[in-house]
């Protein structure tokens, strides 16, 4: 099983709302990632968790708050977003600390901020 599951698939929210994106994997991977992808652009890394600890934050605004409650689950909490935050949010996971660490991606959450 090489599946990364993201929920919800689509999300529409207002600028004052609080919502969360969820990502789950059961491959025993200890590295998990959040990416943001705008239309016709490559994914941009936002956060990396290694062994449930935040190891990389690519200077993401604080209105995005990641959380890794256990080794299988990754959340992204959203608050006071702007319309320019509308994008496809992708989660990925990989084995940790190996040269051959293929990243497996979920199908993404399409976020629209009104």
Partner 1 sequence: KQEVTQIPAALSVPEGENLVLNCSFTDSAIYNLQWFRQDPGKGLTSLLLIQSSQREQTSGRLNASLDKSSGRSTLYIAASQPGDSATYLCAVRPMGETSGSRLTFGEGTQLTVNP
Contact yes or no for 74/34 (Cβ under 8 A):
yes
Of the candidate residues 56, 61, 77, 112, the single one contacting partner 1 (CB under 8 A): 56
Phi then psi dihedrals of residue 83, to 5 deg: -55, -30
| Residue 101 contacts partner 1 per CB under 8 A | yes
Degrees (nearest 5) of the Cα angle 108, 113, 114?
150
For residue 112, how many other CB atoms are within 10 A of its CB? 12
Question: With respect to partner 1, which residue has the nearer C-beta, 61 or 97?
Answer: 97
Verify binding: residue 96, partner 1, rule CB under 8 A.
Answer: yes
Residues that bind partner 1 (CB under 8 A): 4, 6, 31, 33, 41-43, 45, 48-50, 55-56, 88, 90, 92, 94, 96-97, 99-108, 110
């Amino acid at each position: 099983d090489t599946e990364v599951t993201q929920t919800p698939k689509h999300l529409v929210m207002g600028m004052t709302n609080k919502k969360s994106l969820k990502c789950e994997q059961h491959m025993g991977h200890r590295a998990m990632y959040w990416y943001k992808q705008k239309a016709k652009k490559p994914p941009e890394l936002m956060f990396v968790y290694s062994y449930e600890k935040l190891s990389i934050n690519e200077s993401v605004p604080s209105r995005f708050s990641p959380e890794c409650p256990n080794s299988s689950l990754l959340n992204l909490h959203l608050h006071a977003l702007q319309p320019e935050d509308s994008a496809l949010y992708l989660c990925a996971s990989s084995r940790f600390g190996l040269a051959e660490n293929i990243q497996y991606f979920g199908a993404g959450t399409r976020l629209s901020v009104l």
